[in-house]
Amino acid sequence: MLGWALAFLVIALIAGLLGFGGIAGASAGIAQFLFIVFIILFVIALIARAVRGRPPL
């Protein structure tokens, strides 16, 4: 999921440089959403691992 977020970020940067504001804004929004979902799932995984008795990393 982090890979998808980075891909959309790169698309947004390239579209912004080329002057495609609408595409850049949409891609940046998708990248932000995917990054937030990634962080939430990562934290849930860390908590689940800690509850099972294993160290976080």
Q: pTM of the prediction? A: 0.74
Asked, for residue 46, whether it belongs to a domain, the answer is yes
- Cα angle 36, 22, 28 (rounded to 5 degrees) comes to 20
- Domain count of the fold of the chain: 1
* Residues 6+ positions from 6 with CB-CB distance below 8 Å: 31
pLDDT tens by residue, 2-57: 888 888 889 888 998 898 888 888 988 999 999 999 999 999 998 998 898 866 66
Domain range holding 28?
2-51
Q: How far apart are CA 36 and CA 28, in angstroms?
A: 12
Asked, for residue 56, whether it belongs to a domain, the answer is no
Neighbours of 10 (CB within 10 A): 12
Asked, for residue 32, whether it belongs to a domain, the answer is yes
Asked, for residue 57, whether it belongs to a domain, the answer is no
* Residues 6+ positions from 12 with CB-CB distance below 8 Å: 23, 24, 25, 27, 28, 31
